[in-house]
Each structure stands twice: as C-alpha cells, then as structure tokens.
Amino acid sequence: MLCDPEICNRVEVLPSNEFLFPNTALSPDHVIGWACIRKMCENAHITLPEKLTPSKMRHRISMIYSALQVPETECHFFYKHMGHSKDVNIGTYKYP
C-alpha cells in the first residue's frame, strides 16, 4: 500500500521520491517522525506531552530491542539507524 503507484499519485507523492515514508504535496523529502508523534500527542490531549521526548523514545526503543533475541548479524542495522555502536548498545542498554 505504501508503494502503490496509484495511491502515491492520488496523495501527490513525487514519483522520484524513494523514501519509504515520503512527504506528500510533491515534496522530495521524507516524513519527520518526531513531528508526526508530537502532532498525535497534541490531538490526543496527552497530559504532559513535553515528557515524551525523542531522547526518551530512543532510550525506550533501545531497551526493548536489547531484550529481543536478534541475531548479531542483524544488529548493525539497528545500531546504524539509532546512530550508535554495538559498544554503546551493550554498555548502556544490554546487561547480563
């Protein structure tokens, strides 16, 4: 559905935009995830939305990921996405 050319055309995704989560309105850019989450919090009238920060979300996601049984051969994708190394992940999030 995200890559369906008919849907992309209907919502004005630029045909040359190769992002998995592209902006609409014929933009060459991608969606900014944090802006979407912040807007959802506003719309849901979340109490104390300022406590939900990108840093806290990255920390929580890293903690959950460290508890999963992901093969070492695949972990580098996560580390790269999160912007940290295997050593940071082990030293900060993964304890014996």
Domain ranges of the chain: 5-47, 51-92
Provide the whole-model pTM.
0.56
Percent of the chain, pLDDT > 90? Answer: 16
Helices and strands, counts by H and E, the chain: 5, 0
Question: Which token pair is 61?
Answer: 């996601």
Strand partners, 22: 30
Q: What is the model's pLDDT at position 12?
A: 92
Question: Which token pair is 10?
Answer: 């209907």
Q: Which of 62, 55, 69, 48 lies closest to 90, judged by CA? A: 62
Residue 52 has pLDDT above 90, yes or no: no
